Structure formats: structure tokens, C-alpha cells
């Protein structure tokens, strides 16, 4: 086994042992950053505007997902039963 192969083997062995720990630590860091971000967002938006901001955020996410706000139409056949002539 050459020196290069030996070094590569040892690095792969160390990386294999460290990877689960690093992934777990990264998940913890992301979770804490998400909590901090939510806390800062809650503090930045006044209570009376939260509902409006939430509605705008949902609408924006829907548009990004390709959903368009269309005209709501009644179910076929049900529009005559509710109206009187």
C-alpha cells in the first residue's frame, strides 16, 4: 500500500466516523437558527399586522408553487338549486 493510499484510507475512515456527529450538530444549529429567525420575525411584525403578513406570505408561496388565484365557481348543477326565479 502506497503512502497516498494509506493517507486516503485513513481520511475516509476518520470521515466515516465524524459524519454522523457533524450531521447531528448541523441539524441542531439549523434548528436553533430557525427558532431565532422566527423569534425575530415575531418581534418585527406588530400583532395587528401578523394576520395580513401571514396571508400575503401564503399567497406568495402559492404563486411560487404555480397556484393561481382563480375565480371560484360553484359545483356544476348546484347553482340552480340555490337561486329562485
**SS3 state of residue 8:** helix
Q: What is the mean pLDDT of residues 42-46?
A: 79
End-to-end Cα separation, the chain, in angstroms? 93
What pLDDT band is residue 81 in, cutting at 50, 70 and 90? very low
Q: 406568495: which residue's cell?
A: 60
Q: How confident is the model at residue 69 (pLDDT cuts 50, 70, 90)?
A: low
What integer is the mean pLDDT of 18-40?
Answer: 90
Q: Are 56 and 64 in contact (CB under 8 A)?
A: no
Please name the residues in contact with 80: beta carbons below 8 A apart, sequence gap of 6 or more: none
CA distance 7 to 24: 26
pTM score of the predicted model: 0.43
The confidence score (pLDDT) of residue 42 equals: 80
Amino acid at each position: 500500500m502506497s503512502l497516498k493510499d494509506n493517507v486516503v484510507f485513513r481520511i475516509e475512515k476518520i470521515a466515516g466516523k465524524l459524519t454522523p456527529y457533524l450531521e447531528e450538530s448541523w441539524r441542531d444549529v439549523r434548528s436553533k437558527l430557525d427558532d431565532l429567525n422566527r423569534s425575530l420575525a415575531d418581534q418585527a411584525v406588530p400583532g395587528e399586522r401578523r394576520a395580513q403578513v401571514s396571508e400575503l406570505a401564503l399567497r406568495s408561496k402559492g404563486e411560487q408553487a404555480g397556484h393561481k388565484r382563480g375565480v371560484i365557481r360553484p359545483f356544476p348543477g348546484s347553482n340552480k338549486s340555490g337561486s329562485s326565479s
